[in-house]
Amino acid sequence: MIPSQRHLFDIPDDIAYFNCAYMGPLLKAARAAGHTGVDRKSLPWTVSPVDFFTESEKARSLFAELIGATANDVAIIPSASYGLAVAARNIPLKAGQKILLLEDQFPSNVYCWQQRAHDSGAEIVTVSTPADHDWTSAVLNAIDENVALAALPHNHWTDGALLDLVAIGEKLRAQGAKLVLDVTQSLGAMPLDLARVKPDFMIAAVYKWLLGPYSLGFMYVAPEHQNGNPLEYNWLNRKGSEDFAGLVDYVDDYQDGARRFDMGERANFALMPVAVAALEQILDWGVANIQGTLTQKTRDIAARCERLGLTSLPDERRAGHFLGLRQTDGLPKNLLETLLKENIYLSVRGSSLRVTPHLFNNESDSDRLLMALENIL
């Protein structure tokens, strides 16, 4: 268990923030790094050509370390939807083939596939929410020889329901199908064994569990896809772009590995230092330790909520950092507003009240949440 890290954040004592699945707060150190980044733009003479590469390469390497890949396997993207659009562009699809998605999946990981299905004649197959919440079996059962790819999360964004990506990845590969992952709701808080899951593309926006800025993300691209088509054709990701004087000597070649998929202006002087500071702290805590600590927190809250008639998925069916609470007859309409009046922050997605804590949450936050729920329900 990691002790409360609230001192590293700027969260007043009277705020009980359980809403990382909505937006993670910045660390004080990350905010300071961002201020320095913004200030630099007032002093452009301090920004030299080499700076277009150094900070973004550092961020790329830290992200690679976090997922157990090399920097060459990582592209810098502005959003999950951007990364998913790259994946959708680069996976061949034929009429009659199937794309597997989950019911109520996050829209950024649905719309791109609807468009691809429309353009290619492939068919979207939506795996229905299983009554026993066993998404893994439901997805495994849906994989047949016509499935060309599955585009999935590690846990469902509404209630934290978990998928066994190792088993799913294995069955997809056996059928010659591809695996695209949007791990925005898990990466940084829950370990993922990249070497065993073997995704083709794996995407994460950093503004939630990676405690990073809005408008930035990273994408792992498996080596076999690293000669694919980027979404945009910018100068920075072409070979030799370090030589600013030679940029008009246009070249066909790209920078190494997944860098060809980098977004334009990826140097991002204001936001990149924020991501670097956040990734350094997450690596220092260790993702397995974060998951262990958050699992304890959500289990404790789940057990106390059960006495109030709020149910959640069994421990083995949900991600440890992510609790979805439900009530048999539905949640009271004014629940969030009432909690807000007490400075308690959660969100509702679908039928589920999401409790998504981080290392800044302490015992007092949990007690206040439980007391407020007791009063309302």
| Residues in contact with ligand PLP by the rule CB under 6 A | 79-81, 106, 108, 153, 157, 182, 184-185, 205
Q: Which of residues 79 and 237 has its CB atom nearest to ligand PLP in the complex?
A: 79
Nearest to 266 by CA among 71, 40, 86, 59: 59
DSSP state of 299: H
Helix (H/G/I), strand (E/B), else coil: 24: coil
User: Percent helix, strand, coil in the chain (nearest 5)?
Assistant: 40, 15, 45
Q: Which of residues 74 and 205 has its CB atom nearest to ligand PLP in the complex?
A: 205
Taking the C-alpha atoms of residue 177 and residue 171, their distance in angstroms, rounded to an integer, is 8
For residue 307, the minimal CB distance to ligand PLP (Å) is: 29
Q: Which of residues 230 and 254 has its CB atom nearest to ligand PLP in the complex?
A: 230
For residue 11, the minimal CB distance to ligand PLP (Å) is: 21
Q: Are 183 and 322 in contact (CB under 8 A)?
A: no
For residue 161, the minimal CB distance to ligand PLP (Å) is: 12
Please give the single-letter amino acid code of residue 364.
Answer: S
Separation of first and last alpha carbons in the chain: 31
CA 101 vs CA 49, 128, 165, 277: distances in Å: 43, 9, 14, 34
For residue 127, the minimal CB distance to ligand PLP (Å) is: 16
Q: Which of residues 185 and 366 has its CB atom nearest to ligand PLP in the complex?
A: 185
Q: Which of residues 105 and 237 has its CB atom nearest to ligand PLP in the complex?
A: 105
For residue 208, the minimal CB distance to ligand PLP (Å) is: 7
Taking the C-alpha atoms of residue 52 and residue 40, their distance in angstroms, rounded to an integer, is 13
